[in-house]
Chains A and B, each alone.
Chain A
Amino acid sequence: MSGTTPFFEIRNLHAKTEDKPILKGVNLTVNPGETHALMGPNGSGKSTLANVIMGNPVYEVTDGEVIFQGQNILEMDPDERARLGLFLAFQYPVAIPGISVAKFLKGAADARFGQGNVKTGPFLKQVREDMDYLEMDKSFINRSLNDGFSGGEKKRMEILQMLTLKPSLAVMDETDSGLDIDALRIVSKGVNRMVGPDFGLLVITHYERILQYIKPGFLHVLMDGQVAMSGGPELVKEVEKSGYDWIREKFGKEVLV
């Protein structure tokens, strides 16, 4: 692959929080048009990885690179990364009373596409259509961002933002956790609408359930801050059937050797 500029590549990524190392050399590549799933037991570093990719200042990167669109984005502010086309669907989206959904979406779209390029009328029309598609009540557009929203409503709001901002690479941090089957179906429907030859997706999840709706071409298992195993869709079935223990054993051996 040398010679070509990678679309999205994580190289030997190390990160810590409060002196506790969490990521210990993550390597992972996503090409345009690919959907990758990342699984792993609690505490393996899945959410940390998502946050480090987006630039959450809580984490300190100690080594490695994240290349996106040919640039090492670790040197960029989170908002620069977003404007470049990176998107993180949060595991716990925050509620901000006093900012309406409409105002927030418009502000974000202005930042992403340039203020002059977003005409309010057509923009809001598109947002309403997207809300319809996600089976959201249109009154949400005038409510405060995520304020008083249920878990499922918050996650749908994340997907609405993704549809609005049209990223080229999205990371979904346990978007499926806490969703009932209907909400999961709707969220997946929204995500699948993004999937295409120019879009890369990294779905971080704790459960295989969502992978029945969003079919990944690749699966990676994260353990103790490293990708312990990678494979195709068959690996999903294997994890579903046998859990992580067998990978742990195998991984342990490899690392210890």
Chain B
Amino acid sequence: MTTAQLSVEDMFVPGFDESSLPSDGSEPALLREKRAAAFAKYSELPMPTVRDEEWRRTDPEMFPFDEFTPAPALAPISVAPESGPWDNEFDVVVTVTDEGFHINDAANMLAEKKLVVQSLADAAVNYPEMLKRYMQGEARVKQPRKFTTLVDAFWNFGLFIYVPAKTIITRGVLIRYTHKTPGRVVIPYLVAVADELSELTIAEQYESPDLVELLALSAREFYAKQGAILRAASLQEWGGKTYHIGEDWVRAERDARVDWVSFLLGGQLSKMMVSCDVAAPNSNAYLSGLFFADKEQHIDQCSLQLHSSANTYSNLLYKGAVKDKGHSIYQGVIDAVPHAVKVDAYQMNNNLILNEGARADSLPGLEIDADDLKCSHGATCGNLDPNHLFYLRSRGLPEAEARQLLVMAFFEEVIARVPHEFMRERVRENVRHKVGVAV
């Protein structure tokens, strides 16, 4: 091996070097520039290794990039793919498949300009100033990770969602990702902005067949401008052989409220990160996570609650269960900058360990440089409470049923944070199925 080859291996994730950059000349110059800038960063950043604190429990080598090839860029398809059971509950439905993407404006919200849902390619033409501002914008409060810069440079599907000021979109946007072609790396990138005093709901659903090997890399940026309410819920139901690395960024401005919910139920191996900046006085963020690792699933999550302003509020609740040989990791940080007084930050991670051999690591943390603030955090790990189990059984419920009921009860607090009842019911169903009859 020559030195030159060695350095290339250090620089690039297999399959993602200069030659694989989307070279389609038809892409707007703005996006090409963004990609080029991102690629430069991507090339500079060292490859993460298991020696990095953040990757200590999830070796990056566990993601078999060399077995996968980048999926081609997705183009719009004119024929609507098969509809999903929830489509009628939303104003706009975006369907993303291996063949392309389709935006269904059933309620005419896009036509009436109450809402913008466009591919990044279209938005770069129609809303260039906004993309300049929000793609890899202020929400990126820290140096992005290597894999996130990869998304910035190589995304194969990009979506821009924007709600104009003072517009209330209650039903909102559903994005359904269904990928079936094995051996691909799919790279979705989402930028969503709720302008001043607006309201927006976004739900995302990720699916793949159980036996299909897939790798997903994703990045999402959410902006809640002054006085806006932004709800974002994602339901990850990948099949058992799908890998996912994802990074989310959330920014809430003055008087804004963000409700961010993540359900991680599927996939073989997931490494998910969220950074949330409550960036101006009276901004509120609720971050909620539900995860369930069974069989040989591995779910690694980390969160940052950044209080870059005084008088800000954040509340994080992550609840997880592990079963069989499942392994979950949660690492959280609350960071209040020096002048951030009157901050109220809360971080809680509860874990149910349903059998020996399953494992949950919980590492909550605080980094506080200010005084006159309220920060609390906590973590619990344990099996179901035997007193609870005995109580339910003393009322006639068989053990398996009582266990299932208690696991459901454990999760109910976080399930209740999702705006849609059908999504709540779907998650309950999924969890019930995972608990099974004999734990």
The residues in A between 5 and 27 inclusive whose CB is less than 8 angstroms from any CB of B are: none
Assess whether B391 is interfacial by the CB under 8 Å rule: yes
> B396 to A79, Cβ gap below 8 A?
yes
Assess whether A90 is interfacial by the CB under 8 Å rule: yes
> B395 to A111, Cβ gap below 8 A?
yes
Smallest distance from the beta carbon of A166 to chain B beta carbons, Å?
12
Candidates B395, B398, B412; contact of A97 at CB < 8 Å? B412
> A57 to B386, Cβ gap below 8 A?
yes
Known A-B contacts A98-B411, A99-B409; the reply to A82 vs B393 at CB < 8 A is: yes
Assess whether B168 is interfacial by the CB under 8 Å rule: no
Q: Which residue of chain B has the shortest Cβ distance to A147 in the bound complex? A: B409
> B386 to A111, Cβ gap below 8 A?
no
Interface-side segment among B228-236, B290-298, B326-334, B400-408:
B400-408
> A56 to B390, Cβ gap below 8 A?
yes
> B394 to A107, Cβ gap below 8 A?
no
Annotate A155-169 by CB proximity to B: 1 below 8 A, 0 otherwise. Answer: 000000100010000
> A107 to B393, Cβ gap below 8 A?
no
> B409 to A98, Cβ gap below 8 A?
yes
Assess whether A257 is interfacial by the CB under 8 Å rule: no
Assess whether B410 is interfacial by the CB under 8 Å rule: yes
> B393 to A78, Cβ gap below 8 A?
yes
Known A-B contacts A57-B390, A99-B405; the reply to A165 vs B395 at CB < 8 A is: yes
Please, how many angstroms separate the alpha-carbon atoms of A108 and B405 in the complex?
Answer: 12
Q: How many A-B residue pairs have CB under 8 A?
A: 77
Assess whether B385 is interfacial by the CB under 8 Å rule: yes
> B398 to A79, Cβ gap below 8 A?
yes
Annotate A24-60 by CB proximity to B: 1 below 8 A, 0 otherwise. Answer: 0000000000000000000000000000001111100
Please, how many angstroms separate the alpha-carbon atoms of A82 and B397 in the complex?
Answer: 8
Main secondary structure of the interface of B (DSSP, over half): helix
Chain B contacts of A220 at CB under 8 A? none
Chain A contacts of B396 at CB under 8 A? 79, 82-83, 108, 111-112, 165
> A88 to B394, Cβ gap below 8 A?
yes
Chain A contacts of B410 at CB under 8 A? 98
Assess whether A94 is interfacial by the CB under 8 Å rule: yes
Assess whether B388 is interfacial by the CB under 8 Å rule: yes
Assess whether A75 is interfacial by the CB under 8 Å rule: no
Chain A contacts of B402 at CB under 8 A? 79
> A97 to B397, Cβ gap below 8 A?
no
Chain B contacts of A83 at CB under 8 A? 396
Chain B contacts of A94 at CB under 8 A? 385, 387-388, 391
Assess whether B17 is interfacial by the CB under 8 Å rule: no
> B386 to A97, Cβ gap below 8 A?
no
Please, how many angstroms separate the alpha-carbon atoms of A54 and B395 in the complex?
Answer: 10
Q: Which residue of chain A has the shortest Cβ distance to B398 in the bound complex? A: A79
The residues in B between 405 and 424 inclusive whose CB is less than 8 angstroms from any CB of A are: 405-406, 408-413
Assess whether B399 is interfacial by the CB under 8 Å rule: yes
Q: Which residue of chain B has the shortest Cβ distance to A54 in the bound complex? A: B394
Annotate A67-83 by CB proximity to B: 1 below 8 A, 0 otherwise. Answer: 00000000001110111
Candidates B392, B397, B401, B413; contact of A98 at CB < 8 Å? B413
Assess whether A93 is interfacial by the CB under 8 Å rule: yes
> A107 to B405, Cβ gap below 8 A?
yes
Chain B contacts of A111 at CB under 8 A? 395-398, 401
Chain A contacts of B391 at CB under 8 A? 90, 93-94, 96
Residues of A within 8 A of B (CB): 54-58, 77-79, 81-83, 87-88, 90, 93-94, 96-99, 104, 107-108, 111-112, 144, 161, 165
The 5 closest A-B pairs by CB, nearest first: A98-B409, A98-B412, A111-B396, A82-B396, A108-B395
Q: A78-B394, A97-B409, A111-B401 are in contact. List 13 more A-B contacts (CB 8 A).
A: A54-B390, A55-B394, A77-B398, A78-B390, A79-B395, A79-B398, A81-B394, A83-B396, A96-B409, A97-B412, A98-B408, A107-B395, A112-B396
5 contacts between A and B (CB under 8 A): A58-B386, A79-B393, A79-B397, A79-B402, A96-B392
Residues of B within 8 A of A (CB): 385-388, 390-399, 401-402, 405-406, 408-413
